[in-house]
């Protein structure tokens, strides 16, 4: 019987219950031999699958070599750990937190579990890219990080590294020679044929990389913001991403639970950030989404638009829409939709 690939893990995160990124486009490009890939990891990540007992704290480790521009760019996604990546050759467009960066050789990228990022814009340019993904047991900014037990950094250095990464969300850094050499050593460990020997070398090389990253960040005098690890920051990120799941029938209890908070605390932070109650904020986001969909989907029914925006009743949607915009959804579409010849209406 043909075995099925394991499904991507599902885990509760800052924004919602979501599936870890499967890197489907990247894996498809590798299968088409559009680029060379050497990787190991777990679950649905690309590369050679490691036994569950071997390096479970490292979901993915590897490199790719794209000798020409690629068309498979990955859209916005998140990982289930902190990712350290390095561009050794070529150029690469990479987005983090809604902002695009144009990487050049020697740039290191650090993304936290709650940070959206994308590869390509949408083209992936000729490049040699390396990455290490470490599961630190946290998905929200305010959660405590748990490093692998085999990390040999001193307690003080572990705490400092954690603080530097949690209280600073700047993604792109210019690597120094030590960081570049540490990435090189980590990638070389993938060439070890014997699995126990590979495991040992990966652990040693990961320790060397983290020590080098710590020294780099310490030397750069990274400005820290303690508010980035607060429960308020967790709520802020949830509210910023709620447009991704407006069709979900959110309750106050569920929104609070997604942020690891009680109802009152969540509502308090929501009011501070938006000056609205959670219910009113959700309603405003749904109405805004419906208005955009009315213009973007001129042939979809009004009921279909209402459902897509998260309204369960088309009558309730029509009433709230009129109160918000001063006209019916159909009138709004006629006024704001495209002209028959394709030009905009005024």
- The per-residue pLDDT for range 279-305, each reduced to its tens digit, is 999 999 999 999 999 999 999 999 999
Domain at 10-226, CATH from 2.60.120.10, 1.10.10.1150, 2.40.10.10, 2.40.30.270: 2.60.120.10
DSSP 8-state assignment for residue 30? H
Q: Report which secondary-structure segment, H or E, holds 308.
A: helix 302-308
**151-208: pLDDT as tens digits:** 999 999 999 999 999 999 999 999 999 999 999 999 999 999 899 999 999 999 999 9
Residue 339, pLDDT score:
47
Which sequence spans correspond to the domains of the chain? 10-226, 231-336
Q: Which CATH superfamily is domain 231-336 in?
A: Homeodomain-like (1.10.10.60)
0.85 exceeded by the pTM?
Answer: no
The owner of tokens 């407006």 is: 246
pLDDT at residue 79, rounded to an integer: 86
* Whole-angstrom distance, CA of residue 334 vs CA of residue 318: 15
Compute the radius of gyration of the chain from its Cα atoms.
23
Q: Compute how many other C-beta atoms are within 10 angstroms of the C-beta atom of residue 339.
A: 9
Assigned token pair, 56? 């479970």
Structure tokens at 17: 């219950």
User: What does each C-alpha distance from 158 to 16, 83, 97, 234, 314 come to in angstroms?
Assistant: 29, 16, 26, 23, 54
pLDDT at 120 over 90: yes
What's the gap between Cα 187 and its chain centre? 23
């Amino acid at each position: 019987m043909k075995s099925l690939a394991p499904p991507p893990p599902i885990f509760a995160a800052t924004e919602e219950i979501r599936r870890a990124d499967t890197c489907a486009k990247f894996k498809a490009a590798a299968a088409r031999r559009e680029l060379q890939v050497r990787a190991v990891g777990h679950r649905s990540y690309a590369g050679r699958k490691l036994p569950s007992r071997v390096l479970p704290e490292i979901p993915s480790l590897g490199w790719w070599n794209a000798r020409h521009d690629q068309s498979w760019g990955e859209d916005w996604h998140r990982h289930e750990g902190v990712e350290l990546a390095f561009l050794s050759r070529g150029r690469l467009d990479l987005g983090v937190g809604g902002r695009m960066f144009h990487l050049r050789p020697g740039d290191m990228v650090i993304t936290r579990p709650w940070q959206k990022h994308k590869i390509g814009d949408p083209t992936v340019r000729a490049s040699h890219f390396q990455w290490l993904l470490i599961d630190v047991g946290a998905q929200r900014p305010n959660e405590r990080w748990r490093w692998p037990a085999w990390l040999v950094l001193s307690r003080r250095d572990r705490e400092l590294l954690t603080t530097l990464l949690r209280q600073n969300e700047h993604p792109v850094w210019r690597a120094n020679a030590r960081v570049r050499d540490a990435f090189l050593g980590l990638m070389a460990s993938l060439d070890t044929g014997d699995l126990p020997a590979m495991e040992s070398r990966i652990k040693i090389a990961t320790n060397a990389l983290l020590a080098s990253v710590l020294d780099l960040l310490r030397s750069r005098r990274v400005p820290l913001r303690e508010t980035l690890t607060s429960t308020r920051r967790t709520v802020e990120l949830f509210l910023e991403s709620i447009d991704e799941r407006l069709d979900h029938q959110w309750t106050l209890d569920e929104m609070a639970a997604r942020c690891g908070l009680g109802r009152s605390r969540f509502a308090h932070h929501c009011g501070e950030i938006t000056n609205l109650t959670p219910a009113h904020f959700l309603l405003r986001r749904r109405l805004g989404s419906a208005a955009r969909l009315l213009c973007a989907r001129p042939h979809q029914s009004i009921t279909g638009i209402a459902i897509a925006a998260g309204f369960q009743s088309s009558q309730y949607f029509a009433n709230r829409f009129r109160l918000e915009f001063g006209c019916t959804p159909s009138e709004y579409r006629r006024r704001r939709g495209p002209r028959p010849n394709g030009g905009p209406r005024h």
